[in-house]
Chains A and B, each alone.
Chain A
C-alpha cells in the first residue's frame, strides 16, 4: 500500500468513528431498548392463555423473522410515503430495527421465562404474590440471567445490521466509509477499515457480555 492510501485511511478514520458515535451506536442502543420492551410484551402475549393474544404475537414474530430486514427497512422508508406516511431516515431506521429486534428477542425471552422451574411460580403464589408480582420479582430476574447470552447475540447482530441504514440515507459508520470510498476509489482499503471498526465495537460488546454474565451468575453454583 502506498503512503497516500495510508494517509487516506488515517484521514477517514475520524469521520468513521464519528459516524459510529453519532450513528451506529445510538441507533443500535435506542432500537435495542425499544425492541426489548416490545419483545417482552410479545413474549408475554405468546405465553398468554388468551388464544387471540398469543396468535397476534405468533403472526408478528413469524412475519418479522420470515422477511429480510432490508425489505422491512425499505417498506417503512420508501413504501409508506405512497400511503401518505412520510418518515425521516432516522426514525424510519429506529422503527425498522426495533420491530426486528422485537421479533427475535421475543422468542429468546419466552424461552427464558419457560426455563424457570414451575416451582418458582408456586412458591411465589404461596407467599401471596399475584401473577404480575410473581413475574416481575421472581420469574423475570431469573429469566434475565438465562437470556443474557442469546440477547447479546441479538444486540451484536443489530450493531452490524445498522449498516443497512446507510441505504436509507442515515449517516453512520458505513455510510461515511462509502462516501470516502466513492470519492477516492479505494474501495478495498476503506471497506476493510470499516469492517475492522465494526469488529472492534463487537469485541467491546462481547467483553461487556462477559461482565454482565458474571454479575448475574453470583447466585448460581459453578
Chain B
C-alpha cells in the first residue's frame, strides 16, 4: 500500500495500473502500479535494467505500453484535460492509441532527459520558447517574458543567446528543466537528470529540483542519488524486475527496507566495492 492510498485528502494526479511493456522477447515491465498525488515527489530507484526509465517514458508516451492503464487528472483547461489510456486495447502499437489521447497525455508532463537533449541549432531562449510558441501557440511576447524570468531564476539569464554547446553540462540541464517548466505541465518527469554530469556540477541541478519540490510541483524522478531521494522525495519506489517491489516513505525505506531485494540493492549502492 502506498502512502498516497492512506491520504485520501490529496487526490491522485497520476494513476498507473498494471502497466506492461516488452521490447521483443524481453519483458521490461511485468506489472507496474503507481498512484501519485498532487504535490508528491516520487523517486524511482532500482538497478539498471529494472525498468524504472521505461516507466517514466511510458508516462509521456515516448514508449507505448503493451497493457495496463495510465490516467492523469490535470487542470481544468483544455490542454490539461483528464486523460485515461487503456493500452491493452491498443495492442502495444502507437497507431492503436488514439492520437488525441496520446497528445493529451504528453501535454500533461514536461520531461527532463539524462542527456539534456537540447536543440543544438537553437539558442537557449529559443529552446525554451519553442514548445510554448510553436506548439501551444501562446503569444510570443508573453512566452518570452516568462522564459527570461525562468532563465534568470536558474542563473542563466545572461546565457539566453548562447547555443547549447557553449554551456556546461550543468547549465544545459538547467535549461532542460526550464524548457520543461515553460510548457506549464501538471507533472514533471526527470530521467536520471544528473547521471551525465561531472560530480561538481550535480549540486546546482539537484538544488534546483529541490526548490521546485518546495514550490509544490508534482514530480517523478528516476535517480541514483539516494541522499537526494532521502532529502527531497516524499515517496520512494524501488523498481526491480519490471515491477514495484517496495514503495514508501524515503527516510523509513532507505534506512529500513522491508524487502530483501531492496536491501541488497541499497547495500550495493552504499558499499560498491
Contact = CB atoms under 8 A, between A and B. Distances in A.
Given A128-B183, A137-B130, A142 B135 contact: no
A183 interface: no
Nearest to B179: A127
Interface string B97-124: 0000001001100110101011111100
B149 interface: no
A142 B134 contact: no
A123 B134 contact: no
Which of B119, B130, B183 has the most CB atoms of chain A within a 10 A radius of its CB? B119
Interface size class of B (residues with CB under 8 A): 20 to 34
Given A219-B165, A220-B165, A127 B121 contact: no
A117 B116 CA distance: 12
A219 B183 CA distance: 24
A219 B118 contact: no
B61 interface: yes
A137 B135 CA distance: 11
Interface in B161-181: 163-166, 179-180
B126 to A, nearest CB: 10
A123 B165 contact: no
Nearest to B180: A126
Contacts of B163: 218-219
B56 to A, nearest CB: 11
A133 interface: yes
A124 B61 CA distance: 12
A142 B120 contact: yes
A81 interface: no
A128 B135 contact: yes
Nearest to A216: B121
A26 interface: no
A1 interface: no
A221 B172 CA distance: 14
A125 B113 contact: no
A119 B60 contact: no
A127 B131 contact: yes
Interface in A153-203: none
A119 B134 CA distance: 19
A101 to B, nearest CB: 25
Given A126-B60, A137-B130, A221-B165, A119 B103 contact: no
Contacts of B60: 126
B195 interface: no
Nearest to A144: B121
A11 interface: no
A145 B180 CA distance: 27
Given A129-B135, A137-B134, A119 B120 contact: no
Interface in A128-145: 128-129, 133, 137-138, 141-142, 145
Interface of B: 60-62, 103, 106-107, 110-111, 113, 115, 117-122, 130-131, 134-136, 163-166, 179-180, 183
Given A126-B111, A127-B131, A127-B135, 4 more contacts: A128-B135, A141-B121, A219-B120, A219-B121
29 contacts: A119-B113, A119-B117, A123-B113, A123-B117, A123-B118, A125-B61, A126-B62, A126-B106, A126-B111, A126-B113, A126-B180, A128-B106, A128-B107, A128-B131, A128-B135, A128-B136, A129-B134, A129-B135, A133-B134, A133-B135, A141-B121, A142-B120, A142-B121, A145-B121, A218-B163, A219-B122, A220-B120, A220-B165, A221-B166
